[in-house]
A = this chain, B = another copy of it.
Amino acid sequence: MTTPDLEKPADGFPLSRKRGRGRPRAFDVDEAVDRALELFWRQGYAATTVADLTAAIGINPPSLYKAFGSKQELFERAVRRYAELNGRVLEVALACPDVESVVRRFLTGVIESATEADCPAGCLTIQGGTACREGEHEVTDLLTALRRAVQDALEHRFEQLKAEGGLRADQSASALARYVATVGQGLAVQAGGGATREELMTVVEFSVRTVA
């Protein structure tokens, strides 16, 4: 799973919009990634075909391959975009001042993201990537790493709060982070199955009660 840094700013252009020498691209790359994200999110990696992608973006295959390299690299772009969007939600939760509010805000954010009306229900990192034939672990591994990164961020924050006295010294920050991440993943599965925000918010209350 190489990451050849497509579309990077190409250091050297002070503030100008980079415009290469050749024919200009006829579609917006970021918008294309968003369309791809929606498809991968809704259908998963294996069930989403290049024909689906080109149709959704409104381009022909050569344009897709020029811009992204392959279906798998486009998937990685979409996943990175997804991580960027959800990263903001995570940051808001991590900024909360105590364990209970971090947990409540995180789980609430997961529910909101997984039940957003104009997005597929559920979580891309859970339902997007089982698809791997024997020996093709790249897709699965990427999504697993992303889930792990969220859990690690929670753990780091709980360690901070523990040092500040906001978490009892005999409590394990890593175990707590795993618990919260587990509930979050379960909530995403529930949302993928059609559960509503109201139903899922009752789960948050159970979880917060554990923590408090």
A residues near B, CB below 8 A?
Answer: 43-44, 46-47, 52, 126-128, 130-134, 144, 147-148, 172, 175-176, 178-179, 181-190, 192-195, 199-200, 202-203, 206-207, 209-210
Structural contact, A44 and B43, CB atoms closer than 8 A: no
Residues in B with CB closer than 8 Å to A52 are: 133
Instruction: Please give 4 more A-B residue pairs, beta carbons under 8 A apart, in addition to A147-B189, A148-B193, A178-B195.
Output: A46-B47, A175-B206, A176-B206, A189-B189
A85 to chain B, nearest CB (A): 19
Whether B132 lies near A47 (C-beta < 8 A) is yes
**Cβ-defined partner of A178 (8 Å) among B128, B147, B175, B202:** B202
**Which chain B residues lie closer than 8 Å to A200 at the CB level?**
178, 182
Report B-chain residues with C-beta under 8 Å of the C-beta of A131. 43-44, 46-47, 130-131
Q: Which of A144, A147, A182, A187 has the most CB of B within 10 A?
A: A182
Kindly identify which residue among B130, B132, B190 contacts A185, using a CB–CB cutoff of 8 Å.
B190
Q: A182-B189, A186-B189 are in contact. Are A194 and B44 (CB under 8 A)?
A: no
> Please, how many angstroms separate the alpha-carbon atoms of A192 and B185 in the complex?
11
Question: Interface of chain A, helix or strand or loop or mixed?
Answer: helix
What is the bound-complex CA distance between A128 and B52, given in angstroms? 21
Cβ-closest chain B residue relative to A126:
B189
Chain B residues with CB below 8 A from A188, complex form? 189
Q: Which of B133, B182, B209 is close to A210, meaning CB atoms less than 8 Å apart? A: B209
22 inter-chain pairs at a CB distance below 8 angstroms, sorted by A residue, are: A44-B44, A44-B46, A46-B47, A47-B131, A126-B189, A128-B130, A130-B130, A130-B131, A172-B202, A178-B195, A178-B199, A178-B202, A179-B202, A181-B186, A182-B187, A182-B189, A182-B200, A185-B185, A185-B186, A186-B189, A189-B189, A209-B210
Interchain CB contact under 8 A, A179 and B193: no
A144 touches B44 (CB 8 A): no
**Within the assembled complex, what's the spacing in Å between the Cα atoms of A178 and B198?**
12
Whole-angstrom CA separation of A130 from B120 in the bound complex: 11
